[in-house]
Chain A
Amino acid sequence: MFRRTLPMILAFTVGVFMIVQFFVPHPQLQMLYNMVLDWKQVVFGCVLIVGTMTLIRHHALRVRFRKQGYGYSIIALASLFAMVLAAIFWGIETGPYSWLFTNVQVPGQATMFSLLGFFIATAAYRSFRARNVTATLLLLSGVIVMLGRVPAGENMVIGGVSLADLATWILDYPNTAAKRGILIGVGLGMTSTALKIIIGIEQSYLGKGE
């Protein structure tokens, strides 16, 4: 009862309320709706803290039992606590917290994402083969968009049309058509999954067992 049924009743009540409020613009209901959104943020904040505590526990156990590569765990923990302490003592707008964000997180994330460029390119080199018509279309549209987005591509002309214009047309029309079709399908899928969660058919978020 308390372990599965009540959480499901809570999910049903909150879910139905969130749908109903969309169609009833009453001020009291809107106030309640805003409160639910605030509660949602607080719950997310608490869940994020739980996740961070799990991360800390994982690395702390690695350090405690001197597992292979535990030195890296010390670096991860030191960086995490440095950010928290910097925010507590110097604030978040300026000082070491902002400095670490600018000089560690921003370049680190940009480097990681730029690394993906190499891996995508090498994976494409190995897998892109013009085996049939559809694979050729995939290859051609990819090459046209890549070439059309660099300065050299602006000077290349195919059949009187510049590669840059062709790339823009592909992005604006066939690409939009594909994305829009997928988006509509995803939207219908999301709606049905949401309804399954609210009426209790989908329960995987509750985990297994009692």
Chain B
Amino acid sequence: MHLSPEPGVWLAAILTLAGFSFLWKDNPMFKVMEHMLVGVSAGYYLVQYAYSAIFKKLYVPLVKQGNLLFAGCAVLGLMAFARLFPKRSWLSRYPVAFYVAAGAGYSVPSTIQARVIKQMQVTMINVFDQGSLGAGVSSFLLFVGVITVLLYFFFSAEHRGPLGAASKIGIVTLMIGFGASFGYTVMSRITLLIGRFQFLLGDWLGFL
């Protein structure tokens, strides 16, 4: 056993144990850790965005490069602060409208391309050109799975007859998918847990 002399390791270890203490019940140690994490995270993201957005994307082009077009952006940014004053909070609708619409407009072509067309493209492949019979059958099952899942979410017609049968296959596909996603999520959390124990037993206590 070789205890770490690093104050940072000790702080991280104490916070880890305080976090795990919630498994017993909600307690002051956990609350201290929780509030410390909230404060540090808020401070971290505040500084990151203040630097990468306000300084780099506003201060540098407007003040250092003299690009006056960015004055409009400064005005929009300042309008967001009107949210803090109830009588003038309607002014904050302008930056919100700008942000939401820019995001919406950006997402229309990119979503259609990445989430619809690309997904359809990689689903409709030649199953006879997959190298082996197993891969071909699996690709065919994938194709059938995608089509039936989409049919399951098609609510414009009653799920009876062929549509009902297809939507049942869709439910089976969805259930296998949900189970697999669940198992995968649990394992990723367990990996994090193992990482924390490795830190406690290795970096902190020096057992490993």
A184 B43 Cβ-Cβ under 8 A: no
Q: Is the interface of B mostly helix, strand, loop or mixed?
A: helix
Q: Besides A16-B105, A205-B100, 20 other CB < 8 A contacts?
A: A4-B93, A39-B70, A39-B76, A41-B52, A44-B53, A45-B77, A80-B40, A84-B43, A104-B37, A114-B195, A120-B186, A134-B171, A140-B179, A141-B180, A142-B179, A142-B186, A177-B173, A179-B177, A181-B145, A187-B119
A115 B23 Cβ-Cβ under 8 A: yes
How far is B98's CA from A36's CA once the two chains are assembled, in angstroms? 9
Chain A, 9-24, contact with B by CB distance < 8 Å: what is the 0/1 string? 0111111111100110
A156 within 8 A of B: no
Given contacts A177-B149, A177-B173, A11 and B100 within 8 Å (CB-CB): yes
Chain A, 174-196, contact with B by CB distance < 8 Å: what is the 0/1 string? 11111111111111101101110
> What residues of B have a CB within 8 angstroms of the CB of A75 in the complex?
32, 35-36, 39
Range of interface residues on chain B?
35 or more
> What residues of B have a CB within 8 angstroms of the CB of A121 in the complex?
186
How far is B193's CA from A54's CA once the two chains are assembled, in angstroms? 33
Closest B residue by C-beta to A38:
B57
Chain B, 26-54, contact with A by CB distance < 8 Å: what is the 0/1 string? 00000111111111111111111111111
B182 A187 Cβ-Cβ under 8 A: no
Closest B residue by C-beta to A36:
B102
Range of interface residues on chain A?
35 or more
B108 A210 Cβ-Cβ under 8 A: no
Given contacts A10-B94, A115-B23, A143 and B37 within 8 Å (CB-CB): no
> What residues of B have a CB within 8 angstroms of the CB of A61 in the complex?
none
B125 within 8 A of A: no
> What residues of A have a CB within 8 angstroms of the CB of B70 in the complex?
38-39, 42
How far is B138's CA from A95's CA once the two chains are assembled, in angstroms? 53
B105 A141 Cβ-Cβ under 8 A: no
A39 B19 Cβ-Cβ under 8 A: no
How far is B186's CA from A150's CA once the two chains are assembled, in angstroms? 12
